[in-house]
Amino acid sequence: MKSAIELAMAKTEEMVDDQEKLTQEQISAVNDIKSEYEAKWAEQEIVLKQRIEKLQQETDPQTFAEHQRQFSDEMNQIRNKIYGERDQKIEDVRKQRKS
């Protein structure tokens, strides 16, 4: 049975091997996708935080505290959706055959 460290090292080696197999165009495309989705998340995070701040100012502290978990869940859902889309696009690029 492999230890957690051995599993992590194997996974890292697989990731490095995948990276080495990518063409320059694929690497560039992956980097562009990462940048695009980091920007999308940053934009959504700002919007969500502004909504939270506005609600905090408009409601009493107890009501706000009751809704904090909902805000956290909503942020997590949006982040997971954005990064899920990003990961799918990156995987699509990685699967493209070298020309």
Residue 10 lies in a domain: no
pLDDT of residue 69: 86
| Range 49-68 average pLDDT | 89
How far apart (Å, rounded) are the C-alpha atoms in residues 39 and 19? 23
Residue 7 lies in a domain: no
Structural domain of 72? 22-95
Q: Please, what's the b/e burial string for 41-50 (b: 16 or more CB within 10 A of its CB; e: otherwise)? A: beeeeeeeee
Residue 45 lies in a domain: yes
How far apart (Å, rounded) are the C-alpha atoms in residues 21 and 98? 9
For helices 61-95 and 24-58, the axis angle rounded to 10 degrees is: 170
Domains contained in the chain, number: 1
Residue 5 lies in a domain: no
pLDDT of residue 16: 59
Residue 12 lies in a domain: no
pLDDT at 99 over 70: no
| Range 6-18 average pLDDT | 68
Q: How far is CA 64 from CA 2, 68, 76, 78, in A?
A: 47, 6, 18, 20
Q: Report helix, strand or coil for 60.
A: coil
Residue 27 lies in a domain: yes
pLDDT at 6 over 60: yes
Residue 84 lies in a domain: yes
Residue 9 lies in a domain: no
